[in-house]
């Protein structure tokens, strides 16, 4: 009887991550993750998670310091599953305006900007957004979640968010989910080929968040066995 291939999942450690909650979520769905900051571990892994909590500029600085920019870009180009979470999603974009302008990984075209401090009625909006909020299909787009890690999630499901900045993809086809905060509708999940990322934290979003990890894991297992 053939032994099943061990699937390697790299969780990128760049001193700005919610590493252990992501690790626990991976273990809960049957994956065997490795927390690492080594380029060779990243490039040899079957799948990758780029987590993150903190400031964009500091994160990019750390990625440069650890010589991880090119390995992350090469991994994305390899076609293997790549997941970004919170700051990890924002880092995928072209640039951010958080505490100055900073170039991102430029894997998804677009910018990262700050939530407005007031809504259209000039009422104050609390920043950062912290807590539970809903995710929805993009307007006038049916079936976009089909075949993605969100396909088993109900439209309008609550997920857990902690952030002050949000991503604005250049191309609408990269918008996988949207969320409302104040009177702003913004992108809360993205998709591009093998890249899937969420502004919210699936690992902190109870059973529905774990469903996302499980579906992502199932797709990885399917890819490595085919």
What residues are annotated to the active site? Answer: 86, 201, 203
Say if residues 139 and 85 touch (Cβ distance below 8 Å). Answer: no
- The residues, any chain, with a CB within 8 Å of residue 49's CB and separated by 6 or more, are 9, 10, 11, 12, 22, 26, 33, 83, 84, 85, 88
- DSSP three-state, residue 86: coil
Residue 52 has a CB neighbour count (10 Å cut-off) of 24
C-alpha 172: how far from chain center: 17
Say if residues 56 and 112 touch (Cβ distance below 8 Å). Answer: yes
| Spatial distance between the Cα atoms of 215 and 223, rounded to a whole number of angstroms | 12
Classify the phi-psi angles of 213: left when phi > 0, otherwise alpha if psi is within -120 to 50, otherwise beta. Answer: alpha
Task: Please report, for residues 45, 74, 75, 169, 175, the alpha-carbon distance to residue 79 in angstroms, rounded to integers and kept in the order given.
Answer: 12, 9, 7, 20, 19
């Amino acid at each position: 009887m053939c032994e099943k291939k061990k699937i390697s999942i790299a969780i990128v450690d760049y001193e700005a991550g919610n590493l252990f909650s992501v690790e626990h979520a991976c273990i809960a769905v049957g994956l065997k993750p490795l927390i690492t900051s080594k380029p060779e571990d990243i490039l040899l892994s079957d799948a990758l998670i780029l987590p993150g909590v903190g400031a964009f500029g500091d994160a990019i600085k750390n990625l440069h310091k650890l010589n991880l920019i090119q390995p992350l870009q090469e991994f994305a180009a390899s076609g293997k599953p790549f997941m970004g979470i919170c700051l990890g999603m924002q880092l995928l974009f072209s640039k951010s305006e958080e505490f100055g302008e900073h170039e991102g990984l430029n894997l998804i075209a677009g910018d990262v900007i700050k939530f407005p401090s007031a809504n259209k009625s000039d009422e104050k909006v609390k920043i950062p957004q912290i807590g539970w909020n809903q995710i929805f299909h993009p307007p006038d787009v049916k079936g976009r979640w089909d075949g993605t890690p969100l396909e088993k999630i109900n439209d309008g499901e609550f997920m857990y968010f902690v952030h002050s900045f949000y991503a604005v993809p250049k191309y609408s086809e990269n918008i996988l989910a949207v969320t409302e905060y104040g009177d702003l509708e913004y992108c809360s999940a993205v998709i591009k080929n093998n890249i899937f990322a969420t502004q919210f934290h699936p690992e902190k979003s109870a059973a529905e968040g774990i469903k996302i990890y499980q579906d992502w894991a199932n797709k990885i297992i399917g890819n490595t066995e085919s």
